[in-house]
Amino acid sequence: MAAAWGILLIVLAAVLPVITVASNHAGPQPRVSLVRYYGRDVLWLPAIPFLISIAVGGLVRLRIATQWRWPGVMAWALAGATVLAALAGFVTIIIGVYILPMGVLLCLSASAASSESSASRPTA
């Protein structure tokens, strides 16, 4: 689900008109997408959370498959870093409001992996 949110962020950066462009006439001003205004180089910004979601997914799968502890710790670290970056994004730039749901979804994934792997452990 977090990866789908990441793809949605990339698509919205390409097509959603959010930048107001000043024109020489009165009335409503035209709006363009981030890609149209800044160029394709701006797509790296929403691509970072998408790549993090792919990494967390892989770590969660590895944690469940192998019962190793470090993939779960790394998944939690990446999910927590995404939430912290989103909270910082609230203050510095508005993009944090769009990245926070992904961070929450990643935390839920890491939590589910931790609980599933501990539930499948044999008790002595």
Cα–Cα distance measured from residue 36 to residue 1, given in angstroms and rounded to the nearest whole number: 27
| pLDDT on residue 123 | 46
Question: Which pLDDT value is given to residue 119?
Answer: 56
Q: How many domains does the chain have?
A: 1
19 domain-assigned = no
pLDDT for 117 = 55
- pLDDT greater than 80 at residue 84: yes
Q: Report yes or no on 63 lying in a domain.
A: yes
Q: Domain limits at 81? A: 2-14+43-119
pLDDT, tens only, 2-57: 889 889 989 988 998 888 888 887 878 888 888 998 889 888 888 988 999 999 99
Q: What single DSSP character describes residue 40?
A: G
Q: How far apart are the C-alpha atoms of 117 and 66, rounded to whole Å? A: 9
Domain-located, residue 103: yes
Q: Given pLDDT bands bounded at 50, 70 and 90, which one contains residue 124?
A: very low
Residue 32: inside a domain:
no
φ/ψ of 32, rounded to 5, equals: -135, 165
Residue 33 lies in a domain: no
The verdict on residue 35 lying in a domain is: no
Residue 124 belongs to some domain of the structure? no
Q: Check residue 60 and give its pLDDT.
A: 92
Does the pTM surpass 0.85? The reply is no
Residue 79 pLDDT > 90 = yes
Calpha distance 90→104 (Å, rounded) = 15
- Amino acid identity of 49? P
Has residue 30 been placed in a domain?
no
Tell me if 72 sits within 8 A of 114, measured CB to CB: yes
Share of the chain above pLDDT 70, in %: 91
Give me the chain's average pLDDT, please: 85
